[in-house]
Amino acid sequence: MLSNMESSLRPEPEDPRSALAAADQARERLAAALRLPTGLFPALAVAVAVQVGAAAYGIADQSTSGLAIALGGAALFLATAAVLLTRFRNANGVRVDGLASTIILGTGTVSTSVYLATFAAATWAAFEAQWWLVALAAAAGGAAYSFSAHLWWRAYRDDPASRAGGASPRLLAALAVVACLGAVALVVGS
């Protein structure tokens, strides 16, 4: 009799498949309700374009003022990224895996490829003193980078499970350390 009473006091576990289906539906509802801050893609395009152009100029100039301009471009990009991520979190009250790394920091394949190609073109043009080509490559890089971010966002909204996750914070921190060491090497070498 006691065993019958004990079993009636314990709730029966829910069917795991229905619990997983409910979780999937909740994730899809959340993804559909998320809103990007107004002007995210144009701000990202401008920040990337300025950073690419400033870095290309700074590398080609190979002076202290050139390095200052390159670092200024990087600082503008990082400030823009921080503002955009803060605005997203304030508007939605959540963090989205992959938003910071894939959209803002460009760790996706397309955005990385676009960035590297246009940065190489802008740097070559800067060494050749073709400033109109530097501006063109930087603007194209910013626009394409922003467009790849837009494509990722659309894909995330359609299927959040497959797009969730981005570069780990440890990997991003390690890359930041490497970038800072590179900047220090440039300063010491000049």
30-53 pLDDT, tens digit each: 666 678 889 999 999 999 999 999
The CA–CA distances, whole Å, from 40 to 2, 30, 43, 89, 176 equal 63, 20, 5, 13, 23
**Per-residue model confidence as pLDDT tens digits over 62-83:** 899 999 999 999 999 999 999 9
The C-alpha torsion from 29 through 35 and 40 to 44, rounded to 10°, is -20
The domain locations on the chain are 35-189
Q: How far is CA 182 from the centre of its chain?
A: 21
Average pLDDT, rounded, for the chain: 81
Nearest residue to 48 via CA among 114, 109, 121: 114
pLDDT at 177 over 80: no
The whole-model pTM stands at 0.75
13 token code pair:
């576990």
